[in-house]
Structure 1
Amino acid sequence: MQSAVSFKVAFLRYLQAGLDQVAGVPSANASVMERKRAIKLTADMAMALARGGRRWSRALMSNLCKQGTSENLPRTKFPLTIFSRKKILRRRFRQRPSPPRTAAAASLLARRMMKKRTEVLKRLVPGGNSMDDFSLLLDEALDYVLSLRAQADLLRRLTYAIEHSKCRWVRIYRVKPLSPW
């Protein structure tokens, strides 16, 4: 497994190169959602490239290349709002005595739950559907989660640095900051 520091350095290099490419594209007609998707796509691709030859990273790169075209980006004119009703349903259940479970039934139930959870994990990890070995799946899932955590940490620090550099620029030149409203 690659060390955290070398992964972060490689991730930042790939992220910077990707963001330079995104910045080179004219964004006058791009909506905020399209820009957000482009940045997310760049961050995910940088994470996959920085990790290298893991199965999940190759599967993620393949998926990102398939969806990376601009035709797949949504162009909606309406705000995305979801209206829902909150309705509380009360149901009265009478207590039914449950039959005593045997050890065999408990074992069967545990196997079913394990199989369902394994299937969910296979769907969560890119490229996990092709893995049959449970220990390999756990290893890939662990590596994927650690990479996601490092990606989130680096993006959070990058955002913090950019915000504070803007604040310093505002203080030095006594420029009134723009109101978000």
Structure 2
Amino acid sequence: MQNTSLKQEFLKNWIKGLQLHSSFNKNTTIFERRKAIKLSADIAIASTRNSTTRWSRALIADASRDGSNKTLIEKISGREVPHKASLGLIRCSKRILKRSRFARRRAAPVAGLIAKKLVKSRTRALKRLVPGGEGMDEISLIKETIDYIVSLRVQVDVMGRMATAADRLIPFKTI
């Protein structure tokens, strides 16, 4: 999808979400409006990807955890949010039993060991940043991250242009 059409689709979905939120909630606090803007933007950018990426499905799944967002998600994305039956959780012990070893390991090269630790820590950090990234392998994570960054840039660009346009229409008054 071209960048311009992606921006147009995001803007259309975002405005639809903001209109839906304002029609349901007339008197809201600044915090509630901020939350609604972020939620609408997240759902709008995820719906532009048509559930083709894991991060978009993860964003919609996160938003749908709150039952009050279900209608908003369905109206913006045009898809029905499936209602999942709650599964019973099984508590497992996280303790791992270690076997004692008598053989000594050979010392690994220090530079290689440091590089591996650095890559692992950065991969873990990236998995936490990308929605749905926790269950991805490294190749999928890189592909999803690139797609997510492109979508975030579209989101930031459109929201920035909207803020600039709003500033021109309604100049900020100082007290």
Does the TM-score normalized on the shorter chain lie above 0.5?
yes
**CA deviation digits over 1:134-160, x for unaligned, max 9?**
121111001111111110110010111
Counterpart for residue 112 of structure 1:
117
Q: Is 1:140 matched with 2:138? A: no
Deviation at 1:38, TM superposition (A): 0.7
SS in 2 for 1:51: coil
CA contact (8 A) 1:41 1:68 kept: no
Amino acid at match of 2:31: M
> Please, which of 158, 163, 169 is the counterpart of residue 159 of structure 1?
163
2:42 pairs with one of 44, 53, 57:
44
Greater Rg by CA: 1
**Residue 15 of structure 2 corresponds to which residue in structure 1?**
16
Write the letter of the residue equivalent to 1:16.
Answer: I
The amino acid across from 2:166 in the alignment is I
CA RMSD in angstroms comes to: 2.0
Mapping of residues 9-158 of structure 1, within 5 Å: 9-28=8-27, 30-52=28-50, 53-67=52-66, 69=68, 104-132=109-137, 134-158=138-162
Q: Distance in 1 between matches of 2:24 and 2:166?
A: 21
User: In structure 2, what is the Cα distance between the partners aligned to 1:26 and 1:64?
Assistant: 18
| Cα separation, 1, equivalents of 2:66 and 2:123 | 26
For structure 2, the 5+ residue unaligned runs are 70-106
Following TM superposition, the consecutive aligned residue runs of length 4 or more in structure 1 with deviations greater than 6 angstroms are: none
Unaligned segments of structure 1, at least 5 residues:
71-101, 168-176
Q: Calculate percent identity across the aligned residue pairs.
A: 38
